[in-house]
Amino acid sequence: MTDQELLEKFHDDHNNEWLGILLQRYTLLLLGVCMKYLKDEEDAKDSVQQVFLKVIQELHKYKVEYFKSWLYMVAKNHCLMKLREKQGKLTVEITDRFNGPEESAPDQRALQQDDLTYDLMTDALKELNPEQQQCVTLFYLQKKSYQEVSEITGFSMLQVKSYIQNGKLNLKILIEKKLEAQQKKQ
């Protein structure tokens, strides 16, 4: 069975056995991706298990067209998040609904996608109103708590939560519009 057929069967009857077959195919790929980023076998093995759990949760919510590419991006994003937590450094996170060519291996196109997404996010962030931009930057990029954002900005907790929630939504809309415009140019 192809990946697509297994996904269709899973979406038809929500039987996790179909996902098990699919994930088993890509266990070594996932381990390789995690090893590439984390450079530690135990961390990589743990991460593969965590990616499996995330995939099971996410596939109940979303319909994925190109499983292999999507799975690669989920694993990569997971590893980048772990590294960011470990090192406290800013890394770019790609949406886990990435749909690229299924047959292509993670290569230069994936790296270009990272750069494109980072550029789009940076541009879109600049288009938010100043309050949203400040709160989103502090909360998501600098990993400040609501309380810390409130203390830094002087906004009330309610205002901070509102600016973050609305800023996140506006950021998503702006990035999607920019992606559509980029795709039309190609």
Mean pLDDT of 166-177: 84
Per-residue pLDDT, 84? 85
> In the predicted model, is pLDDT for residue 96 greater than 90?
no
- In tens, the pLDDT along 51-67 reads 998 888 888 777 787 88
Q: Where are the domains of the chain?
A: 3-87, 108-185
The CATH number of the structural domain formed by 108-185 is 1.10.10.10
- In tens, the pLDDT along 110-124 reads 444 545 556 667 778
> In the predicted model, is pLDDT for residue 99 greater than 90?
no
Per-residue pLDDT, 176? 80
- pLDDT class for 89, splitting at 50, 70, 90? very low
Per-residue pLDDT, 88? 59
Per-residue pLDDT, 144? 82
Domain 3-87 in CATH 1.10.357.10? The answer is no
> CB of 149 within 8 A of CB of 132?
no
Say if pTM beats, i.e. exceeds, 0.75: no
Q: 50: buried, middle or exposed (CB in 10 Å: 19+, 13-18, 0-12)?
A: middle
